């Protein structure tokens, strides 16, 4: 019954294990080949579920999962630290206490030995004082809305009780959905009875698409704390009174003054709020300062006159340096809109603020000699700098996208020119920026474009 050469019935795989390595700062990981001296638990039969448990353990206790080689060679925290999986004992700046780290590793050992409360207790303690609840709204299989809420949570309150309180308060004056999906059973029989009378299904999904939605909501709830840290750090760094929650970013894009456009993007708690994005076609002027002044003035006038339904932001971010910031401040002063404003310059990533701080109401000027701005050179790893960079980059992307749309709209004039195909048309516009510039180009300049010969250049000159 065991043929010597029957390889079909042989399997070289072994069962997955969990190991805590024998190191000054132990590593936890799922493995099939444990290291010598490691503390090993298992075997287990479901590797996917095992990895989920290990991830939950790391989120709770912050144990590292990197190799000893990477641990020894790091000079800054890695992505695992940024997303809350690791306390980053590899670098001095995190100041991780070894005794506390080892105590956490011992608690994990007890968890895998059967003391499940070792994992549950810290999670419950983390809920004391405040709880973040994320709400996702899905219709016809599409995610159409999301938001996050912070609730006060009495000491010792469980997740089910927090969810029950939130659902009752949130839907007291709102239209009820067809179904409510929760990560934990709401701990309130009256709430369940009310939803049942209203025909609302209350479910705690364990698998499938509904479980995926719940998992996404949990991730969004955890991200709130990180976003809040960024907003608080940004407010502290800029000397603002309250945490920065809502930021609007501005940028302009044009090609030699043609197809000039401006973008106004919105971020809330560190995430893009695309329903609040706006864009504007500007006068064709080859002046970045004038374009920025016109864009910000447009937004400010709408806010002051009550024609913009969006709430005022906590901070305006201008893509540019001192000149762009001065132009924006001129616009704010002229419109009488009192909103803090800073600029973020590219390449050197310097944050520029008015001399009196972001909330200074003094008007700006594009003349460098007449203005004295403050400049911040924050660490590359600063979370509040990353927040501003995300807003700045998104404003730039949105402006460039709109500019290209307008530029391509006017390019259809070239379609009627014999000998000009789609590729040659794109090369011409890439080289000259607009049809007007193509029209003004000399034949020699036209012939310098790949695909444009003497005959085509002559035809272009005649037709345009």
**Cα–Cα distance, 446 to 336 (Å, whole number):** 49
197 and 256 share one domain: no
CATH number of the domain at 351, please.
3.30.420.340
Tens-binned pLDDT, residue by residue, of the chain (464 aa): 455 555 555 555 678 999 999 999 999 999 988 999 999 998 888 888 888 888 888 888 889 999 888 888 888 888 888 777 888 899 887 888 888 899 889 888 888 887 765 555 555 444 444 566 767 777 776 666 666 666 665 555 677 888 888 888 888 778 888 888 888 888 888 888 889 999 999 988 877 778 888 877 777 666 555 555 788 889 988 988 888 999 999 999 988 888 889 999 999 988 888 889 999 999 988 899 999 999 999 999 999 999 999 999 999 999 999 999 999 999 999 999 999 999 998 878 999 998 766 755 444 444 333 344 688 889 888 888 989 999 999 999 999 988 887 766 544 567 778 888 878 888 888 888 777 888 888 888 888 988 888 888 888 888 77
Residue that finishes a domain, picked among 53, 88, 123: 123
**Is 398 a member of any domain?**
no
140 and 91 share one domain: no
200 and 165 share one domain: yes
115 and 139 share one domain: no
Residue that finishes a domain, picked among 378, 397, 426: 378
**Is 305 a member of any domain?**
yes
252 and 369 share one domain: yes
Q: Which burial class, exposed, middle or buried, applies to 24 when counting CB atoms under 10 A from its CB (0-12, 13-18, 19+)?
A: exposed
- Closest CA relative to residue 258, chosen from 289, 285, 237: 285
**Is 240 a member of any domain?**
no
111 and 146 share one domain: no
- In order of 142, 251, 403, the CA distances from 424 in angstroms are 40, 30, 20
- 462 alpha carbon, distance to own chain's centre: 51
**Is 110 a member of any domain?**
yes
29 and 114 share one domain: yes
254 and 366 share one domain: yes
- Show the domain range for 51: 14-123
294 and 354 share one domain: yes
202 and 295 share one domain: no
**Is 384 a member of any domain?**
no
> Hey, how many other C-beta atoms are within 10 angstroms of the C-beta on 398?
23
- Closest CA relative to residue 44, chosen from 76, 69, 13: 13
DSSP state for residue 83 in the 8-state scheme: T
**Cα–Cα distance, 238 to 366 (Å, whole number):** 22
**Is 409 a member of any domain?**
no
Residue that finishes a domain, picked among 123, 151, 176: 123
Give the CA dihedral 227, 228, 231, 234, nearest 10 degrees.
-100
Q: What is the pTM of this model?
A: 0.46
For the chain, what is the domain count? Answer: 4
**Is 4 a member of any domain?**
no
**Is 74 a member of any domain?**
yes
């Amino acid at each position: 019954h065991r043929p010597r050469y029957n390889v079909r019935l042989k399997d070289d795989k072994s069962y997955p294990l969990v190991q805590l390595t024998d190191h000054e700062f132990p590593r936890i990981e799922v493995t099939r080949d444990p290291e010598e001296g490691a503390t090993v638990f298992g075997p287990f039969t479901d590797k996917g579920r095992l990895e989920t448990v290990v991830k939950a353990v790391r989120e709770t206790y912050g144990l590292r999962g990197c190799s000893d080689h990477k641990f020894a060679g790091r000079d800054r925290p890695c992505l695992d630290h940024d997303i809350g999986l690791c306390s980053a004992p590899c670098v001095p700046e995190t100041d991780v206490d070894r005794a506390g780290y080892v105590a956490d590793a011992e608690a994990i050992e007890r968890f895998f030995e059967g003391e499940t409360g070792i994992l549950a207790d810290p999670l419950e303690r983390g809920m004391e004082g405040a709880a973040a609840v994320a709400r996702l709204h899905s219709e016809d299989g599409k995610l159409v809305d999301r938001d996050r809420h912070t609730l006060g949570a009495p000491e010792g309150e469980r997740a089910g009780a927090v969810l029950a309180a939130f659902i009752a308060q949130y839907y007291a004056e709102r239209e009820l959905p067809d179904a409510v999906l929760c990560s934990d059973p709401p701990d309130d029989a009256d709430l369940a009875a009310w939803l049942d009378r209203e025909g609302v299904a209350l479910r705690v999904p364990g698998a499938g698409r509904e479980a995926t939605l719940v998992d996404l909501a949990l991730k969004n709830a955890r991200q709130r704390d990180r976003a809040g840290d960024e907003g608080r750090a940004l407010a502290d760094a800029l000397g603002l009174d309250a945490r920065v929650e809502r930021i609007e970013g501005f940028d302009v894009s044009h090609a030699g003054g043609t197809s000039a456009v401006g973008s106004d993007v919105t971020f809330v708690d560190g995430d893009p709020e695309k329903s609040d994005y706006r864009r504007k076609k500007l006068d064709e002027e080859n002046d970045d300062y004038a374009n920025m002044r016109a864009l910000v003035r447009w937004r400010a006038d709408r806010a002051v006159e009550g024609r913009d339904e969006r709430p005022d932001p906590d901070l305006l971010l201008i893509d540019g340096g001192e000149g762009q910031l001065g132009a924006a401040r001129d616009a704010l002063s002229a419109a009488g809109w009192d909103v803090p404003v800073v600029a973020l310059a590219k390449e050197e990533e310097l944050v520029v603020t008015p001399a009196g701080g972001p909330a200074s109401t003094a008007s700006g000027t594009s003349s460098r000699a007449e203005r004295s701005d403050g400049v911040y050179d924050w660490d590359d790893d600063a979370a509040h700098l990353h927040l501003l960079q995300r807003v700045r980059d998104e404003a730039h992307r949105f402006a460039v996208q709109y500019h290209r749309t307008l530029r391509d709209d006017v390019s259809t004039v070239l379609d009627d020119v014999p000998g000009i195909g789609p590729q040659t048309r794109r090369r011409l516009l890439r080289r000259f920026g607009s049809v007007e510039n193509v029209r003004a180009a000399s034949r020699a300049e036209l012939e310098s474009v790949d695909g444009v010969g003497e005959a085509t250049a002559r035809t272009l000159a005649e037709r345009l």
